[in-house]
Structure 1
Amino acid sequence: MLRALVPSIYAPTVLEAAGEAALLPVIPLLARHLGFSVPAAAALAMIAGIGAVLGPIPTGRVMMRVGARRAIIASGIALAVSNVVALIVVGDGLQGHAGPGHRLALVLALVVMAATGQVWQLGRQSFLGTELPPELRARGMTTFGGMLRIGQVIGPLLGAVVVSLGHDAWVFGLFAVMTTTATVMVAVFMVPGEASGAAPPEPAAAERALDEEVEKVAEATAPVPAPDSTAQAGSRDTRGVLARMVRVGLGVTPLVMGRINRPLIVPLLGDALALDASTISVIFGVAAAIEIFMFIPAGSIMDRRGRAAVAVPCSLIMGLGYVLLSVLAPTIGTRSAGWALVALLVPCLLIAVGNGLGSGIVMTLGIDVSPERGRTRYLSWWNTVIGVGRLTAPLLVAGIALVAPVAAAGVVSGVLCLAGSGWLARVLPEVVPGRDRA
Structure 2
Amino acid sequence: MLRVSEVLRPLILPVYLPTLVQSMGMTAMLPIIPLIALELGFSVSQAAAVTLIGGVLGVLGPIPVGRLMGRVGSRRAIIATGLIQIVTAVGAFALVRDALAGPSGATHQVAFLGVLTVLGLTDQFWIIGRQSYLGAHLPPQHRARGMSIFGGMFRIGQILGPAVGGAAIAVGGLPWIYVVHGVGMTLATVLVAWGMLPGDEAQQRADVGGADAQPVDVLLIVKAGLATVPLTIGRLARPLIIPLLGASMGVDAATISFVFAVGAAIEIAMFLPAGALMDQFGRAAVLVPCLAVMGLAYVFTAVLVWMIPAEQHATAILTASTIAIALGNGFGAGIVMTLGIDISPEQGRTRHLAAWNAMQGFGRLLAPAVVSGVTAIATLAAASAVTGSLAVIASIWAFMFIPGVTPRPPRGPFSDRGY
TM-score (norm 1): 0.78
Alignment of 1:250-261 (within 5 A): 250-261=226-237
- Give 2:147's aligned residue: 141
DSSP-derived class of the 2:407 partner: coil
Q: Does 1:360 align with 2:334?
A: yes
- Give 1:378's aligned residue: 352
Aligned match for 2:368, one of 359, 375, 394: 394
Aligned match for 2:266, one of 271, 276, 290: 290
- Give 2:391's aligned residue: 417
Aligned match for 1:188, one of 184, 189, 194: 194
- Give 2:84's aligned residue: 78
Aligned match for 2:127, one of 111, 114, 121: 121
Moved more, 98-107 or 347-356: 98-107
| Post-superposition offset of 1:81 | 3.0
| Post-superposition offset of 1:46 | 2.8
Q: Does 1:162 align with 2:163?
A: no
DSSP-derived class of the 2:130 partner: helix
Q: Structure 2: 5+ residue runs without aligned partners?
A: 1-6
Supply the AA of the counterpart residue of 1:290. I
| Post-superposition offset of 1:299 | 0.9
Supply the AA of the counterpart residue of 1:135. Q
Question: In 2, distance between residues paired with 1:424 and 1:308?
Answer: 6
Question: In 1, distance between residues paired with 2:367 and 2:185?
Answer: 26
Distance 1:204 1:132, change over 3 A: closer
Q: Does 1:64 align with 2:40?
A: no
- Give 2:183's aligned residue: 177
Supply the AA of the counterpart residue of 1:187. A
| Post-superposition offset of 1:119 | 0.6
Question: In 2, distance between residues paired with 1:79 and 1:333?
Answer: 49
| Post-superposition offset of 1:19 | 1.8
- Give 1:225's aligned residue: none
Question: In 2, distance between residues paired with 1:105 and 1:97?
Answer: 15
Question: In 2, distance between residues paired with 1:405 and 1:91?
Answer: 40
Contact 1:57 1:384 in 2 (8 A): yes
Distance 1:122 1:6, change over 3 A: same
| Post-superposition offset of 1:39 | 5.4
Contact 1:53 1:387 in 2 (8 A): yes
> Number of aligned pairs?
404
Residue-by-residue CA offset, 1:5-63 (whole Å, 9 max, x unaligned): 10110001111112222233444555566665665555444322221221111111111
DSSP-derived class of the 1:15 partner: helix
Aligned match for 1:313, one of 289, 294, 300: 289
- Give 2:59's aligned residue: 53
| Post-superposition offset of 1:409 | 4.1
Aligned match for 1:7, one of 13, 33, 48: 13
| Post-superposition offset of 1:286 | 4.1
Contact 2:75 2:196 in 1 (8 A): yes
Distance 1:317 1:202, change over 3 A: closer
Contact 1:48 1:391 in 2 (8 A): no
Question: In 1, distance between residues paired with 2:20 and 2:46?
Answer: 30
Contact 1:90 1:105 in 2 (8 A): no
Question: In 1, distance between residues paired with 2:133 and 2:352?
Answer: 13
Question: In 2, distance between residues paired with 1:311 and 1:321?
Answer: 15
Supply the AA of the counterpart residue of 1:297. P
| Post-superposition offset of 1:318 | 2.5
Supply the AA of the counterpart residue of 1:173. V
- Give 2:322's aligned residue: 348
Superposition CA RMSD, Å: 3.8
Supply the AA of the counterpart residue of 2:394. G
Aligned match for 1:110, one of 116, 119, 123: 116
DSSP-derived class of the 1:372 partner: coil
Contact 2:132 2:353 in 1 (8 A): yes
Question: In 1, distance between residues paired with 2:35 and 2:330?
Answer: 26
Contact 1:366 1:382 in 2 (8 A): yes
Contact 2:136 2:203 in 1 (8 A): no
Supply the AA of the counterpart residue of 1:364. T
Question: In 2, distance between residues paired with 1:190 and 1:290?
Answer: 32
DSSP-derived class of the 1:2 partner: helix
| Post-superposition offset of 1:290 | 1.9
Distance 1:192 1:300, change over 3 A: farther
Q: Structure 1: 5+ residue runs without aligned partners?
A: 194-199, 219-233
Residue-by-residue CA offset, 1:148-175 (whole Å, 9 max, x unaligned): 1221221233234334445455433322
| Post-superposition offset of 1:260 | 2.9
- Give 2:278's aligned residue: 302
Contact 1:46 1:394 in 2 (8 A): no
Residue-by-residue CA offset, 1:296-328 (whole Å, 9 max, x unaligned): 111111111111111112122323444456677
Contact 2:75 2:198 in 1 (8 A): no
Question: In 2, distance between residues paired with 1:311 and 1:141?
Answer: 14
TM-score (norm 2): 0.81
Contact 2:133 2:203 in 1 (8 A): no
Greater length-normalized contact order (CA 8 Å, ≥ 6 residues apart)? 1
State percent identity of aligned pairs. 47
Question: In 1, distance between residues paired with 2:8 and 2:18?
Answer: 14
Question: In 1, distance between residues paired with 2:375 and 2:37?
Answer: 15
Contact 2:70 2:348 in 1 (8 A): no
Supply the AA of the counterpart residue of 1:79. Q
